[in-house]
Amino acid sequence: MDKIARIDMGAAGGPKVTVGPVGEYAGLGGRALTSLLIAKEVHPLCHALGAENKLVIAPGMLSGTTGSMTGRLSVGCKSPLTGTIKESNAGGQAAQVLARLGYAAVVLEGKPEGDDLYKIFINKDGIQVIVDNSLKLLDNYPVIEKLRGEYGDKVAYMSIGTAGERKLLAASIACTDPELRPTRHCGRGGVGAVMGAKRVKAIILDDAGMKMRPPVDPDKYRDANRKFVEGLRKHPVTGEGLPAYGTNVLTNVLNEAGGYPAYNFKGGQFPGSEKLSGEAQAQLEIDRGGTATHGCHRGCVIQCSGIYNDKDGHYLTKQPEYETVWSHGGHCGIDDLDTVAMLDFMDDNIGVDTIEMGVAIGVAMDAGIIEFGDREGAIRLMKEVQQGTPLGRVLGSGAAVTGKVFGVERVPVVKDQALPAYDPRAIQGIGVTYATTTQGADHTAGYAIATNILKVGGDVDPLKTEGQIELSRNLQIATAAIDSTGMCLFIAFAIMDQPETFQALLDMLGSFHGITMTGDDVVALGKKVLSAERDFNTRAGFTRHHDRLPRFFYNEPIAPHNQTFMMKDEELDEVFNW
């Protein structure tokens, strides 16, 4: 990956492509590249949907290689949802293909005049930007079906649905999985709205004629990858729980822990959780001829996804993730997996973040728009988003906007991004991450659940404040580094518990680039990324006062533990004091 493509969508006479050397971004990938480029090149006070913003698409440092788990793609920009810097990543095939084509990043710049819609085709011969208005107002599944007829099945696709075209703040960017379904989404922060603002509907990536990226030391890389895979397979989370039940294995775990937010964060347990559990979901998938074990990209050995069929045995959607099952399930008082799966399909098809969308519907329920538990009503609200009605545009702009429009007091957002499926009153560590992460409430930014609940990497009591600041700090640093490698974040379970697996990861990075990598190097990379992100946010007007949870978390105790979020403001201000 020795080059960066810049596509000026607003150039005089039509979009202009410039390809140049990677330059100062050499050696970077994923989140490190997106965040450092955005922090340097985008004005922090620009309008996120304007010409000054940039959309950076970057495979990871190890993407496009024979290494396992290396298929994550990062997309970065200034977020129209949060106003902060944003990196959102996804699996699927796009990262591997883009990396093998030699691009460290593709940067969409400017904004075209008029209402033409574009697709971008990238292969070994270069980049074409093509007007294709036949794609207008198509959702993701029809878009991919149409493009497959033109470009075939041996490519990877990225696309936006109608939500991205309409520049809704919850809009996502879809990446196709190995079966070319648009199921893997850069979901958080409204990155799909930025792609829509650039008038880009789809990106087609064709690596025909290209080879795997070669490591500097092939023998050492092969040996390190073997040890790394062995470590993943022997860890109980990555080798047993996730392959068998997917991420939704967490439903029963979190419900039992009292940290499963129900009815728009009014309680920490949901009576219908067993009906929504990963165990129930996996059995249903198998009974209907689907599968509970599936990789979102080639080279995945954890295989935490699955295929969910409807009652007649026909494909409906990929296995809904834990956060999706919660946001459309317990959060909304819905205990039916078929309803959740239909909503998941609609999210992917329309192109919206499942967390943001589910939380927005729960907030609307709290406002009395429909009742909690109303399955058909939830589907009806999603159809409003798909049709672009005024109500649909409100909901598709996320939980914060929905709360403001309907006068709801209990709106679970930080920096206007919806909280995921863990209540910070029952799990104090994740509350620290929600409050302080650079990108709005995000569980993946520093997954304290690992240590607070699953006891991976140690044991920090989730109901106490002691140790939570250091835990979140260390996890945020590590996550920023992992997000830069192209590795799936789930590798963290094994590398936190197994020193030899962490060493294998270091050896993979080192042998690929011909250097010696240490744990200190990983920490330094994570800190570099976070420092750039925080600097951007500071220049965008964010202060320590934005690193707080909504007041109801401090004032409303939650059952069954009957406690509030207890971290002091001055403690939260210490997270980034390293």
- Ranges of CATH 3.60.9.10 domains, the chain: 3-205
106, β-bridge pairs: 5, 57
Structure tokens at 364: 């609307």
CA separation, residue 408 to residues 190, 327, 401 (Å): 22, 18, 10
Provide the pLDDT for residue 14: 96
Write out the CATH class of domain 215-245+424-578: mainly alpha
CA distance 200 to 75: 14
Provide the pLDDT for residue 304: 87
417, β-bridge pairs: 414
For every one of its 578 residues, what pLDDT tens digit does the chain have, with 9 covering 90 and above? 899 999 999 999 999 999 999 999 999 999 999 999 999 999 999 999 999 999 999 999 999 999 999 999 999 999 999 999 999 999 999 999 999 999 999 999 999 999 999 999 999 999 999 999 999 999 999 999 999 999 999 999 999 999 999 999 999 999 999 999 999 999 999 999 999 999 999 999 999 999 999 999 999 999 999 999 999 999 999 999 999 998 999 999 999 999 999 999 999 999 999 999 999 999 999 999 999 888 888 889 898 899 999 999 999 999 999 999 999 999 999 999 999 999 999 999 999 999 999 999 999 999 999 999 999 999 999 999 999 999 999 999 999 999 999 999 999 999 999 999 999 999 999 999 999 999 999 999 999 999 999 999 999 999 999 999 999 999 999 999 999 999 998 999 999 999 999 999 999 999 999 999 999 999 999 999 999 999 999 999 999 999 999 999 999 999 999 999 999 999 999 999 98
Structure tokens at 390: 């005024």
CA dihedral 348, 349, 351, 356 (to 10 degrees): -50
Strands in 291-294's sheet, in edge-to-edge order, are 291-294, 305-309, 315-318
Phi, psi angle pair for 158, to nearest 5°: -125, 140
Residues 454, 247: contact at Cβ < 8 Å?
A: no
Fold classification of 248-422 is 1.10.569
Structure tokens at 71: 């298929």
Give the SS3 label for residue 167: coil
pTM over cut 0.95: yes
- Residue (of 456, 455, 464) closest to 429 by Cα position: 464
Question: Where does 298-447 have alpha helices with state H?
Answer: 322-328, 337-350, 354-366, 375-387, 390-395, 399-406, 428-436
Give the SS3 label for residue 316: strand
- Ranges of CATH 1.10.599.10 domains, the chain: 215-245+424-578
- Ranges of CATH 1.10.569.10 domains, the chain: 248-422
Fold classification of 3-205 is Aldehyde Ferredoxin Oxidoreductase;  A, domain 1 (3.60.9)
The residue count of the chain comes to: 578
Provide the pLDDT for residue 303: 86
CA distance 388 to 391: 8
CA distance 254 to 450: 12
CB atoms within 10 A of CB 266: 17
